[in-house]
Chain A
Amino acid sequence: DADVTQTPRNRITKTGKRIMLECSQTKGHDRMYWYRQDPGLGLRLIYYSFDVKDINKGEISDGYSVSRQAQAKFSLSLESAIPNQTALYFCATSTSGTFGTQYFGPGTRLLVL
């Protein structure tokens, strides 16, 4: 969905390196999310943000941090990457309504060597 963009689309890094994944959206949504997807495990929530000043941990936040620079931008950082963080990472957005559907970006494929 071109309304939600992620950069980079692919990244290879080494253990111990710091990396940042970026997400931008033009949907005007207040809420943004970061997920990781692993084979056989489905999508798991890392962090979510209801607005610029509201950031919350998801079920697997250890080893990750986030920054909500603006309503439209939400970045995910791996301070010291490790091999088991190799995964597909997705950003998503939604409205603040009770039944707001989440819309996903195209994903970032990360390989940690």
Chain B
Amino acid sequence: GESVGLHLPTLSVQEGDNSIINCAYSNSASDYFIWYKQESGKGPQFIIDIRSNMDKRQGQRVTVLLNKTVKHLSLQIAATQPGDSAVYFCAENSGGSNYKLTFGKGTLLTVNP
């Protein structure tokens, strides 16, 4: 069945370093992907999205890369800060009408001062 998974359940980095969070997806028909950040006690917060007709998209300190050949998605965070510590989820829209997002289980990012 369709699934979205993460290579690493936890990631620990030093403040100021760049972070890379990875995500594998299995549905080659997925046309839209989203990264969410979830801090403790809060709901998922939208970070950045990318459509399947793109390979890369940049935001403020974040970049999402999409490799459709190997069905891989990554989130790069530049100059990671303590406030970036959270669980990061990827999600894919495999339904085409954006009503059905399949979420990964999340990666816990810990930023050490």
Contacts and interface: CB of A to CB of B under 8 A. Distances in A.
Interface of A: 1, 4, 31, 40-43, 45, 48, 50, 56, 90, 94, 97-107
A97 B96 CA distance: 10
Contacts of A48: 99
Interface of B: 32, 34, 36, 41-46, 49, 51, 89, 93, 96-101, 103-106
20 contacts: A1-B45, A31-B98, A40-B105, A41-B105, A42-B103, A42-B105, A45-B100, A45-B101, A48-B99, A50-B99, A98-B97, A98-B98, A101-B34, A103-B46, A104-B44, A104-B45, A106-B42, A106-B43, A107-B41, A107-B42
B43 A31 contact: no
A99 B98 contact: yes
B48 to A, nearest CB: 10
Nearest to B101: A102
Nearest to A90: B43
Nearest to A105: B43
A63 to B, nearest CB: 20
B89 A42 contact: yes
Contacts of B44: 43, 90, 104
A50 B97 CA distance: 11
A77 B93 CA distance: 26
Contacts of B43: 1, 4, 90, 104-107
